[in-house]
């Protein structure tokens, strides 16, 4: 396995290196202390399995250099999962990271075990948000009068692919074609476009079109948001089955 650690503090990189090395003996680690070094590493060391990225990278408090690297990763290397690690307690940073496609968001005060758990979740195709970050996200979204995600019913510490899935009725309300529904279900298992194309015997370009249609239907702009939105549909579907109601369509804003 090959990892890129991007943080401007050598001590933090050393701590992250210890966590990553605990994953196994066959681990290769490349370190970067600036956004420029991170971009150079991505260009010269192909085949990274994951990136651990400091959100406020080498810049004054309040700057978002790490978000620029995250945007580049999602645009140029969409198959590489990214775990964001940060010292920020600003819920807006969390929303920006999730919107940018981060698969995990972990605070620098987290324990070693929590960082390891987040990394393992990302490597297995899941999405990880600690319980305190979920609370922060809910509070920030509520303050912005956005759709709250407290109705997700998430287990503390992790947003994963094993959570309640939407019923066929809920999926039907999204207005997806049968093929788009197939793509969505495979997307929820963390599969990249190439594997989805292989399973469905379609071209990668066709899968990209289907994924774009799915995101539009969910009113989201990233796969991470899609997972959260569909999980919300699943939880709401369970609640409304009890009440005999159909869940309303609502994506993350």
Q: Which two tokens stand for residue 23?
A: 């994953």
Question: The tokens 């991170």 sit on which residue?
Answer: 38
Residues 23 and 134 in one domain: yes
Reading the chain (253 residues) residue by residue, the pLDDT tens digits are: 899 999 999 999 999 999 999 988 789 999 999 999 999 999 999 889 999 999 887 655 545 678 888 888 878 887 788 999 988 877 778 778 877 778 888 888 889 998 998 888 888 777 787 766 666 666 665 555 444 433 333 332 333 333 345 566 667 777 888 898 888 888 776 677 888 888 899 998 899 899 888 888 888 777 666 766 775 564 444 334 333 333 333 332 2
Residues 177 and 234 in one domain: yes
CATH of the domain at 238: 1.10.10.10
Residues 98 and 180 in one domain: no
Helix (H) or strand (E) holding 149: none
pTM above 0.75, yes or no: no
Residues 147 and 172 in one domain: no
Residues 223 and 199 in one domain: yes
pLDDT tens digits, one per residue of 191-242: 778 888 888 999 988 998 998 888 888 887 776 667 667 755 644 443 343 3
Residues 18 and 93 in one domain: yes
Quickly list H helices, the chain: 10-21, 35-44, 65-76, 91-99, 112-123, 131-143, 168-173, 178-187, 193-200, 204-218, 223-243
Residues 148 and 174 in one domain: no
Residues 193 and 139 in one domain: no
Provide the residue range defining the domain that includes 90: 2-152
Q: Which two tokens stand for residue 30?
A: 């490349």
Using an 8 Å Cβ cutoff, are 34 and 42 in contact? no
**C-alpha span between 19 and 21 (Å, rounded):** 6
Residues 225 and 144 in one domain: no
Residues 20 and 116 in one domain: yes
Final residue of a structural domain among 152, 184, 212: 152
Question: The tokens 């939880």 sit on which residue?
Answer: 235
pLDDT value of residue 81? 86
Residues 175 and 144 in one domain: no
**C-alpha span between 80 and 91 (Å, rounded):** 24
> How many CB atoms within 10 Å of residue 181?
16
- Whether residue 115 is contained in a domain is answered as yes
- Whether residue 57 is contained in a domain is answered as yes
DSSP one-letter string for 42-64: HHHS---SEEEEESS-SS-TT--
Residues 20 and 132 in one domain: yes
**C-alpha span between 160 and 163 (Å, rounded):** 6
Number of folded domains in the chain?
Answer: 2
């Amino acid at each position: 396995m090959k990892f890129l650690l991007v943080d401007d503090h050598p001590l933090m990189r050393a701590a992250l290196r210890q966590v990553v090395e605990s994953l196994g003996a066959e681990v290769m680690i490349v370190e970067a202390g600036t956004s420029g070094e991170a971009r150079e590493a991505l260009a010269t060391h192909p085949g990274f399995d994951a990136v651990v990225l400091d959100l406020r990278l080498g810049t004054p408090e309040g700057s978002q250099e790490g978000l620029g690297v995250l945007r580049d990763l999602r645009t140029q290397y969409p198959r590489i999962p990214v775990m964001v690690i940060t010292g920020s307690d600003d819920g807006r940073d969390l929303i920006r990271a999730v919107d940018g496609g981060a698969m995990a968001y972990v605070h620098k005060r987290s324990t070693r075990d929590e960082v390891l758990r987040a990394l393992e979740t990302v490597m297995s195709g899941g999405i990880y948000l600690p319980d305190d970050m979920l609370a922060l996200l809910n509070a920030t979204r509520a303050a912005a009068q956005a759709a709250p995600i407290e109705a997700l019913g998430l287990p503390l510490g992790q947003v994963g692919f094993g959570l309640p899935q939407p019923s066929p009725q809920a999926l039907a309300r999204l207005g997806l074609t049968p093929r788009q529904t197939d793509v969505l279900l495979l997307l929820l298992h963390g599969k990249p476009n190439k594997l989805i194309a292989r399973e469905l015997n379609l071209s990668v370009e066709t899968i990209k079109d289907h994924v774009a249609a799915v995101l539009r239907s969910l009113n989201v702009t990233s796969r991470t948001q899609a997972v959260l939105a569909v999980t919300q549909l699943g939880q709401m579907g369970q609640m409304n089955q009890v009440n005999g109601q159909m869940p309303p369509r609502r994506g993350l804003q």
